[in-house]
């Protein structure tokens, strides 16, 4: 029995040492992604396993370019013949990137990029402009905005080479920002006959007005859960004055609150709809990246992960979250480089949990030693 206990203690000690050795790596889970030689960057999407991040970065010439980051390397995805591009979404496996790029004629066009095929121009709805906002997890469906022959912006859903106009809510404009994992549900903003922009949820050819928060007239849907049941975005709380992050489910639009200031906006949501990320203004008027859960409410990521921001860096906006809620990407101020940069935050495991584990194992070893004495 005594030998068995010793073996258990040694095994636990080994686990403890391993945990703390790995903590050094995990404590670097806030990764600043750099730029393409220019002065800024920001991240708009992340793959399911956190290995691939996409977004926008400035190059040495000051041009903004779509990037795909993996294994510490930021890749410039190029353009469609013009000078700029933006990456706004990525497939679950990180192989397909979507966004907008300028062509040789100076027109912005939606693109779908793969390593083998490069940047594919997805066309328009008869007009001159388009851009892609998101791609389904299985990479088959792309959604975004395109102009029609009348020059009106319309939400589109692209699949198998066909770009579909999703219509409006009675007005002349709509824009799509998010798509469910299987591509069946699309969310965004559409204008009604009164000229009010309303968050919409589109499925099977029907565009549903998700309404607003009490007292407001406007709302925008910016993200959707994997099954299309939960929608997040921003809505007016007081007409023309206050805007709040919202979470919509089963016909109910929930105000997610603020961080002490007068504004918040939700950009992304986990696959199960339980974790929401975005940006909010704090009591001193500074923009801060947030994470929201039903149990914890809205938390400032700068407070939660303050130990990783000791040099004065800040996380300003959280634009996307991985399906499992582990990885968060966005933009922040990197004090070490003195510029705005894209960041990748790995939130698991948290340092506090490892410290608690180590303390528990140390206590167990101490108890065993006292018994032997």
Q: Could you tell me if 167 and 248 lie in one domain?
A: yes
Q: Could you tell me if 167 and 305 lie in one domain?
A: yes
Q: Could you tell me if 74 and 219 lie in one domain?
A: yes
Confidence of residue 349 (pLDDT cuts 50, 70, 90): low
Contact between residue 246 and residue 230 where contact means Cβ atoms under 8 Å apart:
no
Q: Could you tell me if 55 and 6 lie in one domain?
A: no
pLDDT tens for residues 7-66? 333 333 233 333 333 333 344 489 999 999 999 999 999 999 999 999 999 999 999 999
DSSP state of 310: T
CA dihedral angle for residue 274, residue 137, residue 89, residue 314, rounded to 10 degrees: 30
CATH number of 188's domain? 2.120.10.30
pTM: 0.87
Q: Alpha-carbon Rg of the chain, whole angstroms?
A: 23
What is the per-residue pLDDT for 223?
98
What percent of the chain is modeled with pLDDT above 70?
86
pLDDT tens for residues 264-290? 999 999 999 999 999 999 999 999 999
Contact between residue 276 and residue 247 where contact means Cβ atoms under 8 Å apart:
yes
How many domains does the chain divide into?
Answer: 2
Distance CA 21, CA 15 (A): 10
Of 14-28, 207-221, 300-314, 333-347, the range with the lowest mean pLDDT is 14-28
Q: Could you tell me if 13 and 98 lie in one domain?
A: no
Confidence of residue 238 (pLDDT cuts 50, 70, 90): confident
Q: Could you tell me if 11 and 78 lie in one domain?
A: no
Distance CA 261, CA 75 (A): 37
Q: Could you tell me if 235 and 106 lie in one domain?
A: yes
Helix runs in the chain, H state only: 2-26, 301-304, 351-372
Q: Average per-residue pLDDT in the chain?
A: 89
Distance CA 280, CA 258 (A): 6
Diameter of the chain measured on Cα atoms:
87
Q: Could you tell me if 11 and 66 lie in one domain?
A: no
Q: Could you tell me if 233 and 178 lie in one domain?
A: yes
Domain that holds residue 342: 32-351
Q: Could you tell me if 10 and 148 lie in one domain?
A: no
What is the per-residue pLDDT for 310?
86
Q: Could you tell me if 373 and 345 lie in one domain?
A: no
Q: Could you tell me if 213 and 167 lie in one domain?
A: yes
């Amino acid at each position: 029995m005594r030998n068995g206990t010793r073996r258990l203690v040694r095994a636990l000690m080994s686990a403890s040492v391993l945990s703390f050795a790995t903590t050094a790596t995990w404590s670097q889970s806030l990764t600043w992604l750099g730029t393409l030689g220019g002065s800024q960057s920001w991240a708009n999407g992340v793959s399911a396993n956190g290995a691939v991040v996409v977004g926008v970065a400035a190059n040495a010439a000051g041009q903004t370019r779509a990037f795909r980051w993996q294994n510490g390397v930021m890749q410039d995805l190029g353009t469609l013949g013009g000078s700029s591009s933006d990456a706004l979404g990525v497939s679950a496996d990180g192989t397909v990137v979507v966004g907008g790029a300028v062509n040789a004629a100076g027109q912005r066009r939606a693109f779908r990029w793969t390593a083998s095929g490069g940047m594919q121009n997805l066309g328009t709805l008869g007009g001159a402009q388009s851009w892609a906002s998101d791609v389904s997890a299985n990479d088959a469906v792309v959604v975004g905005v395109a102009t029609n022959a009348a020059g009106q912006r319309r939400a589109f859903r692209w699949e198998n080479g066909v770009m579909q106009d999703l219509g409006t809510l009675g007005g002349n404009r709509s824009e799509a920002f998010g798509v469910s994992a299987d591509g069946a549900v699309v969310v965004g903003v559409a204008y009604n006959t009164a000229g009010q922009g309303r968050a919409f949820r589109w499925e099977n050819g029907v565009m549903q007005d998700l309404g607003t928060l009490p007292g407001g007239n406007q709302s925008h849907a910016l993200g959707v859960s994997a099954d299309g049941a939960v929608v997040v975005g921003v809505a007016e709380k007081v007409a023309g004055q206050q805007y709040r992050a919202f979470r919509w489910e089963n016909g109910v639009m929930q105000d997610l609150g603020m961080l002490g200031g007068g504004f918040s906006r939700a950009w992304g949501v986990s696959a199960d709809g339980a974790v929401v990320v975005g940006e909010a203004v704090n009591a001193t008027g500074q923009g801060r990246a947030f994470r929201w859960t039903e149990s914890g409410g809205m938390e400032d990521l700068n407070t939660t992960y303050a130990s990783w921001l000791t040099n004065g860096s800040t996380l300003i906006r959280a634009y996307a979250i991985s399906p499992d809620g582990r990885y968060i990407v966005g933009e922040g101020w990197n004090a070490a480089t003195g510029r705005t940069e894209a960041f990748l935050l790995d939130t698991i495991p948290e340092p506090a949990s490892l410290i608690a584990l180590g303390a528990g194992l140390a206590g167990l070893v101490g108890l065993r030693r006292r018994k032997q004495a």
